[in-house]
Every structure is written in C-alpha cells, then in structure tokens.
C-alpha cells in the first residue's frame, strides 16, 4: 500500500506537504492512534483524508500543526513543509508557521470566531501578527478578501459581531480570515459538517476556488464521501489509524479495492424499496392550513413583539405506515412544523387532525391521550438522554403511563432493546455509549409504546456516514415491523431518498413541492427542489 501511495503521489513538482510514516500514540495506554501514515499534497492540490470518528484523521492534522493534545506523542515519522521538518521546529517557529504558512478552518463556526470581537479586528489580528502592513492596507486587504468570499457588504460586515451571521456566513468569514495570509497549506477539519447541504456547497465552492487561484494546497478532513467525490483530487482512506487505501479520488470511489473503502461507499444512501404498497391508505395525521408564529424582536419596551411566520399555511397528510419526508434548508420551518404537529408548540391557526379528530385545542387528559400515540426522535443524541438515568430506565419510562405490570414492562423493554440492537447495554449510562448507540436508545424510547405516529427531526445528521446508514436501515425495519407513520425531517436529500415514501419540499414556511419520492427525485418541478437535488452529493 505504501509503495502505491508514493508512486501515485510523487508525480508533480516538489509537494508542499510531505508526511512520511507518521505514527502517533497515546502515552498512557501506548495505543497507536495513527500508524505509519504517509501522503503528499502539492501546490493547488486538494487531498481528502476520509475516515470515521476515531480513525485518526484529526490526529494527522493536529500533528502537522504541532497541536497534539497533552498525553499524545509522535513516535516516528517525518512531516516536511517544503523542505523544513515540522517535527524538529521550535515552538516559536511553529507559531510563525501556524496561521501564516499553514492556515486552518475548524468544524464549528460558532466557536472558532470570538463572539466578543468585531469581525474586522479578528481578521486584522492575523495580518498584524504575521506581516508589517499599516492600518489602511490591512483594512483594504480584509475588504478585498471578504468580497472574494462573497460577503455582500464587507465594510458593514467588519463592524459586526459573529453572532449576527448565519453558520455558513461565519464559516466563509473564517475562511476569509485564514486565506488573507495566503497560506501555502490549508487544513480544513470537517469544515462543513455543522452546515446544511446547500450551505456546505456554497462554502466548499468558495474554498476550492480561493485555493486554486492562490495555489494553496488543501488538506480536507471529512467523513463525507460525497464531498470527496465532488471536490478532492486525491484521497486517502483511514481506518483505526492506518491508511487502507490511497489514490485519485474519483477512481477510489468508483472502484474501491479495500473492503473498508467498499463498506464506506456502500454506506452512501441509496434509494430504498418502498415501505408501503399501494393498499388503500388510512390517514393518521393531517394538518390543514397550519400557521405557526415565533415571536420576533420587540421594537420598544411597551410594544408587542412582531411575530415571524415559521410555518405559513401548510396542508399535509401522513398515512399509516408511511414515511413522509420534509426537506428544506435551515430556517425553512420544517422543525416548527413537526413540533406543531405534536402540539409541542402551539399553532397560530389551522387544523390538526389525528385519525380524523381535531387536536389543535385539546388539553389535559385528551392531549395526554394524543401524546400516548405520538413520539419524537431528536437530532442531537447527546442532549436527548437524561445523563443521570440508565439506558433501561430511559426506555422503560414511557411505560409508566400504561397499565402494564412490572414484569411485562421489563420483558417489553428487553424485547425493544434487542430490536434496536442494544441488548446487554441496559445498565449503562448515556455517556458510556457512542453517538449511534445513543440514537438507538432514543429510538427505543420512541417506539416502546408502539406509537401510531413518529416525528424524526434530523435523526441522523449528527452521525458518521456508516452509522447513518445503520440507523436508517434500523428505522425502516422497525417501521415495517410496527407499521407506524413517520414524519422524517431532514436537510439531507441522500438520507431522504433512502427512507421516504413521499417528499415535501419547504421553503420559507411554505410547501413548494410535494410528490412521491421518485417524482421528486427524478422529475423535480420547482427551482428550489432542483437546487437541493444539485447539492446532493452524487458519487
């Protein structure tokens, strides 16, 4: 494997970054985090490092930057930036290189910009540290760079604070402040994982065009194979600290040779079989002309806050055993719609019918009965489980509201834990489980009472690709077994394609297109649907 790596990658002129046989290990346990990793990145070249959480891909990036966590050390190998060995560089020299010659963009645009400092000052900070430019030149450079990342009003942007921007804009600003110093190498660690599909493309398109123009080498760390196929020239695939496959990105994805790469490629969502047949459909939950408001900012102390429409006149029917996907970018109202359907937030007007009965004005016992038949699965498996309860207790809790005896309960809990693939883990706490396992617990809690209707709000967006595939498969299987109706909320069309029967596309609180999955994916009518489909990462 190592020989193929070298031969394919040594083709161009002297590469900007050469990593040779890099081995990193944890000092205390001696566990190898990366094992003899080698690769090259040339000027203007885009190399993707692909792998799941824990595969050691972030360790590689951190060793290049000299930012390994305490308790982790480099055992062997060499990292050459141009002709300079980074492992032998002094801390002072590393500080000069970091930011100046090697730029970095991190995953969370919410935390990588300092919320207390104006954008202009944050951008200027790097230039002041690494160059001798005067104030007017610094400002001119910032404005020019913000224009290049397509910020509409650069001067106003520089006077603003980070919280005034959306995630995508923040990540573009972050990119601008990094590229301002014209680094030779840009390291991007999962730069778009926290963003929705359309925004991901926007940010990466800009990143690629900036890098190409300035001749910057890019090292992209990601778990998303779709992004790799779309942007990367070369890719290396990592598993448990080892490079298992390396080569041209396109070839690697089209004809993977290593079993693990094959597994990753197979985990890319594919169109699944239809869950329901064409039997006569029974509507479980319907909404008619639903409007949901959320309070906006107050203009003055004594005026009423102006409300904004989150959901603006939506009609929707979900039939028994059917999966209806609601798709749209962040802020399109899809989450508000799902929550209003469960009466978790109140609708301003419109009707909600459950098995033909109006639900919008219920409260007390009647609302409780409705809740008994509905459930919700959340996006973030890290905050949806009470950290002080054991898994079995979490799954058993919904049964407290049924008339079941203790033994029956325990039996049902055991059965459901087995169904979701978690048997023997009942005595663990949530924090002792992986993200995928936690999401399984959340699903078990949702289905233990055999609900008729489940809202799944972005249930897989926080998970690795292979785990996503497993959770989606589990969901489909459970739905086949228990015949519940499902409203699947997602920004990720790939996941939707795998699981949905019908698709609803939302934009600014309104449904812009509705149809069967095949119609939407094969014959999209609305321009927004087409844009979303184009953003879907096809291999």
Partner 1 sequence: MTASSNRWHFNAIAGYSLVGAIALIAVVAVFWTPYDPLHLSVRNKLQAPSLAHWLGTDELGRDVASRAMAGAATSCWVALLSVLFAVTSGTVIGLLAGFIRGWTDRIMMAFNDTLLAFPGILLALAIMVIVGANQYGIIIALGLAYAPMVVRVVRGSVLSIREKEYIEASVMIGNNPVVTMLRHVLPNCVAPIAVLATSMFGWVILSESALSFLGLGVPPPAPTWGNMLSGSRSYIQSAVWLGLVPGVCISLTLLGVNLLGDHLRDRLDPRIQ
Binding site for partner 1 (CB under 8 A): 28, 342, 344, 368, 371-372, 374-376, 378, 380, 383-388, 397-398, 400-401, 429, 431, 442, 445
Q: Which is nearer to partner 1, 90 or 363 (CB)?
A: 363
Least Å distance, CB 452 to partner 1, is 14
Q: What 3-state class would DSSP assign to 488? A: strand
Strand-strand pairing, 17-26 and 453-457 = unpaired
Least Å distance, CB 397 to partner 1, is 6
Q: Which is nearer to partner 1, 230 or 445 (CB)?
A: 445
Least Å distance, CB 374 to partner 1, is 7
d(CA 18, CA 41): 7
Least Å distance, CB 399 to partner 1, is 9
Q: Taking a C-beta distance cutoff of 8 angstroms, is the pair 322, 301 a contact?
A: no
Q: Which is nearer to partner 1, 399 or 472 (CB)?
A: 399
- Using the 8-state DSSP alphabet, how is residue 515 labeled? E
d(CA 322, CA 502): 8
Which residue carries 């419109």 as its tokens? 350
Strand-strand pairing, 17-26 and 72-81 = antiparallel
d(CA 286, CA 394): 30
Least Å distance, CB 286 to partner 1, is 20
Least Å distance, CB 523 to partner 1, is 37
d(CA 269, CA 53): 19
d(CA 465, CA 467): 5
Q: Taking a C-beta distance cutoff of 8 angstroms, is the pair 404, 449 a contact?
A: no
Q: Which is nearer to partner 1, 378 or 521 (CB)?
A: 378
Q: Which is nearer to partner 1, 231 or 370 (CB)?
A: 370
Least Å distance, CB 57 to partner 1, is 25
Q: Which is nearer to partner 1, 55 or 437 (CB)?
A: 437
> Which neighbouring-strand residues pair with 513?
505
Q: Which is nearer to partner 1, 209 or 383 (CB)?
A: 383
Q: What's the token pair of residue 38?
A: 């080698």
Least Å distance, CB 435 to partner 1, is 14
- Number of helices (H), then strands (E), belonging to the chain: the values are 21, 20
d(CA 468, CA 270): 12
Q: Which is nearer to partner 1, 148 or 449 (CB)?
A: 449
- What are the distances in angstroms from CA 411 to CA 359, 373, 374? 33, 21, 22
Q: What 3-state class would DSSP assign to 312? A: strand
Closest Cα partner for 498 from 448, 444, 536, 534?
536
């Amino acid at each position: 494997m190592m020989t193929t790596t070298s031969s394919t990658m040594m083709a161009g002129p002297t590469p900007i970054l050469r990593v040779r046989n890099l081995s990193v290990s944890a000092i205390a346990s001696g566990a190898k985090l990366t094992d003899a990793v080698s690769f090259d990145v040339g000027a203007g070249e885009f190399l993707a490092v692909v792998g799941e959480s824990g595969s050691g891909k972030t360790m590689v990036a951190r060793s290049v930057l000299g930012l390994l966590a305490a308790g982790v050390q480099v055992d062997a190998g060499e990292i050459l930036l141009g002709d300079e060995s980074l492992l032998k560089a002094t801390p002072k020299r590393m500080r000069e290189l970091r930011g100046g010659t090697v730029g970095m963009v991190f995953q969370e645009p919410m935390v990588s910009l300092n919320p207390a400092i104006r954008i202009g000052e944050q951008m200027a900070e790097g230039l002041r540290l690494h160059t001798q430019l005067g104030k007017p030149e610094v400002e001119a450079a910032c404005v020019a760079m913000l224009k290049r990342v397509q910020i509409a009003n650069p001067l106003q942007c520089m006077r603003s604070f980070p919280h005034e921007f959306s995630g995508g804009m923040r990540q573009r600003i972050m990119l601008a402040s990094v590229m301002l110093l014209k680094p030779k190498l840009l390291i991007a660690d999962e730069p778009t994982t926290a963003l929705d599909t359309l925004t991901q493309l926007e940010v990466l398109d800009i990143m690629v065009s900036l890098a190409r123009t300035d001749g910057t080498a890019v090292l992209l760390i990601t778990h998303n194979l779709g992004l790799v196929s779309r942007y990367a020239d070369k890719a290396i695939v990592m598993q448990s600290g080892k490079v298992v496959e390396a080569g041209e990105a396109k070839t690697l994805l089209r004809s993977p040779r290593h079993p693990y790469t094959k597994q990753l490629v197979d985990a890319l969502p594919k169109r699944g079989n239809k869950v329901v047949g064409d039997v006569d459909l029974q509507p479980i939950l319907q909404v008619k002309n639903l409007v949901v408001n959320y309070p906006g900012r107050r203009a003055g102390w004594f005026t009423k806050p102006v409300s904004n429409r989150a959901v603006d006149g939506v009609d929707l029917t979900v039939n028994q055993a059917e999966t209806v996907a609601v798709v749209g970018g962040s802020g399109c109202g899809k989450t508000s719609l799902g929550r209003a359907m469960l009466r978790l937030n109140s609708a301003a007007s419109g009707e909600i019918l459950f098995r033909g009965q109006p639900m919008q004005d219920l409260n007390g016992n009647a609302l409780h009965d409705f809740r008994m038949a509905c459930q919700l699965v959340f996006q973030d498996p890290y905050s949806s489980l009470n950290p002080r309860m054991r898994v079995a207790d979490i799954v058993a809790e919904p049964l407290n509201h049924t008339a079941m005896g203790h033994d029956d309960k325990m039996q049902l809990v055991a059965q459901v834990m087995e169904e979701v693939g978690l048997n023997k883990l009942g005595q663990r706490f949530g924090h002792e489980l992986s993200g995928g396992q936690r999401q399984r617990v959340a699903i078990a809690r949702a289905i233990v009472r055999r609900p008729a209707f489940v809202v799944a709000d972005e249930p897989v967006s926080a998970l690795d690709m292979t785990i996503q595939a497993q959770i989606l498969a589990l969901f489909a299987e459970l739905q086949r077994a228990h015949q519940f109706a499902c409203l699947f909320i997602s920004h990720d069309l790939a996941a939707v394609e795998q699981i949905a029967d019908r698709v609803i596309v939302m934009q600014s609180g309104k449904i812009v297109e509705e149809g069967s999955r095949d119609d939407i994916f094969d014959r999209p009518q609305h321009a927004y649907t087409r844009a979303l489909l184009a953003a879907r990462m096809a291999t």
